[in-house]
Amino acid sequence: MTTSRTETITVDGGGFDAHVVVPDSGSGPGLVVLQEIFGVNTYIKSVCERLAGMGYVAIAPDMFWRQEPGFVVEPEQGEEGMQLAFAKVGGFDFSNVAGDVGAALDHLRGLPECTGDAGLIGFCFGGTLTFLGAAALDPTCAVSYYGSGVAGNLDQADDISCPILFHFGGSDPYLPSEDSQAVADRFADVEQATVLVQPDAGHAFDNHLNPMFSNPPAAAAAWEATAAFLGEHLPVG
């Protein structure tokens, strides 16, 4: 069985919590799981479990800790929860991304269960953080799911040296097709980059716990590609 616990990550100016899940093997390569705008909620914890089931040590840091430590929104909070989450991301200071994500990556690599190599994977808001983290840091690889801020930060694309996989939904109301196409065009000639679009999927299609977003066929297709990508660039065993 996988095991989970809470770790505290220390950075200049304080510290923040992270949810850690260890595979039943007891060790493996690591993945920093970067949250949606809803915090480290039940869905993000389930992603950690999914990755641990594949043999990875997964750690999901609280990226809103500077604003409201422990901020979480669950699907049953409905429209009110959506507005709370949008307000939280609206006040997020992106200048802290490299420091906070970097601290989480370093902490993960320092865990006794982590075999050393570690990557980034993020969803929605976390998809953007993954892209920015890949540009500023040294992850082994990176997987960005529907990061709405990626297209606006393509000036940082040259700073990415690790293999990176992007997922987008072709019918995403929060992310114009022009943006995902801009990402595809920018990385078209980059051998280590792959951009995949699920044509009939909207935003957050991997979030199986939120009926507003969930698209099981798209999620399954994208996860199969993610597993293959991780198996190549961050192999277990």
172 is a catalytic site residue = yes
| Region 88-111 average pLDDT | 97
pLDDT at 223 over 80: yes
Q: Cβ contacts of residue 118 below 8 Å, gap of 6+?
A: 29, 30, 31, 32, 105, 108, 109, 139, 140, 234
Catalytic pick from 124, 162, 167, 179?
124
172 has pLDDT over 90: yes
- 210 DSSP assignment: -
Say yes or no to pLDDT of 224 above 90.
yes
What's residue 227's pLDDT? 98
- Rounded Cα–Cα distance for residues 129 and 110 (Å): 21
State the alpha helices, DSSP H only, in the chain. 42-53, 78-90, 97-110, 125-136, 177-186, 216-233
Strand order in 28-34's β-sheet?
A: 3-11, 14-22, 57-61, 28-34, 114-123, 142-145, 164-169, 193-198
pLDDT at residue 13 tops 80: no
Instruction: For 3-233, give the CATH class.
Output: alpha beta
- The pLDDT of residue 12: 85
Q: What is the mean pLDDT of residues 206-229?
A: 97
**What percent of the chain clears pLDDT 70, i.e. is strictly above it?**
100
Which of 167, 203, 206, 233 is catalytic? The answer is 203
pTM above 0.95, yes or no: yes
- List the catalytic residue out of 62, 100, 172, 206: 172
DSSP bridge partners of 165: 143, 194
